[in-house]
Copies of this chain bind each other. A is one copy, B any other.
Amino acid sequence: MSLTAPAPTLTDKLVAARDASSALATATTAVKDAALLAIAEGVRAATDDIVQANHGDLVAGEEDGLSSGLLDRLRLDAARIEALARAVEHVVGLTDPVGQHVRGSRLANGLQLTQVRVPFGVVGAIYEARPNVTVDIASLALKSGNAVVLRGGSAAQRTNAVLVARIQDAVASVGLPRELVQTIDEFGRAGATELMRARGLVDVLIPRGSASLIQTVVTESRVPVIETGAGVVHVFLDESAPLERSVDIVLNSKVQRPSVCNALETLLVHERAAERLLPVLADRLRAAGVTLRGDDATRVIVPGVLRATDDDWATESMDLDLSIRVVPDVDAAMAHIARWSTHHTESIVTNDVDTAERFIAEVDSAVVMANASTRFTDGGEFGFGAEVGISTQKLHARGPMGLPELTSTKWIVRGQGQIRG
């Protein structure tokens, strides 16, 4: 007679993750790095298994009518798996934030006060069918001392299952609990909902993916959320904007990689610069394949521009589409931004220092630039060594996040018997 243990419930998994997290919180950097190297090796060694599981997801995805773009994001081949393994190895080289002293002082009564970085504990991730995120988030969470509970898109469930099993084996191989990395894909949408309700078991939830996924998590979650994502990004060409610099920055911001959140969506142009700048810009943008929409003033200056609607001002196209508006001055540009921006990144091109500083001071976005391409809003470009995501909220982290943003802090007080008078 044999007994099979019942499959764990989602709560079982979360409790196991929480229990495991305390072992990781005090693990040394050396142990965590050994786990990461084992993950890279394990993922590499499992290339055939991963490709096979991924093939199953791709076949099912085609049957379900997934778009070619989604299928491409879902696909893992040997080259992509090698890139994943290398990305994990890259995390080994990053500074471990845990234990860093943030500040400290000796109080008048002799108490030694130190604020140190500590892991959150358990990080939850909700994302779409991109299996690279599974490995990416798991390695960043482990390096920052956090257990991680992963809810990937159901379309990647077979691939994620193999990846998580290999990651768990690697973690166990260095003596850490396997339960530090878990998938809850098997619980489907109900599992995602339960994860969002798991206040007390999960310390922070990071949604990654489409604007609608992020909105759902932000409004439904009772667990604190770090909102990442949507970028309705603006460039404002001021009256004094030089032509060549304007063309460089607008082109780079729009076309270098249009599918990402720091790509330009709306161009605002000072009315006294519009006739000088817009015709050249329009030619260059069209030559790069960009479809232009604009307000009436733009359409007078540049023939053939489609009419822009409020939807266009509000939308992150993530494609080769650009909306253009002519504005009377920097105040009107900032008012447009205040109304329509997702407060991700805005840049001004100007040769006037007072206007540049006003724009920098008054625009309320995660990243505000003068005379630079919006594509620089990126953890790698900022020198963080890794990209945890770009926060568009104001609490805890704002803008590109590195490993320290995956940690909390605690205060340590060392005394010699002090009491309060």
Contacts and interface: CB of A to CB of B under 8 A. Distances in A.
Contacts of A222: 218-219
Given A107-B383, A410-B398, A218 B199 contact: yes
B121 A371 contact: no
Interface residues of A, number: 70
A341 B121 CA distance: 16
Interface string A123-157: 00000000000000000000000000000000000
Interface in A341-361: 347, 356, 360-361
A171 interface: no
A367 B116 CA distance: 10
Given A203-B394, A362-B26, A369 B415 contact: yes
A249 B224 CA distance: 35
A375 interface: yes
Contact of A409 (B199, B256, B356, B398): B398
Nearest to A373: B419
B204 A364 contact: no
A124 B81 CA distance: 47
A382 interface: yes
Interface in A224-244: 224-226, 242
A307 interface: no
Nearest to A334: B22
A25 B408 contact: no
A376 B413 contact: yes
Contacts of A413: 347, 367-370, 372, 376-377
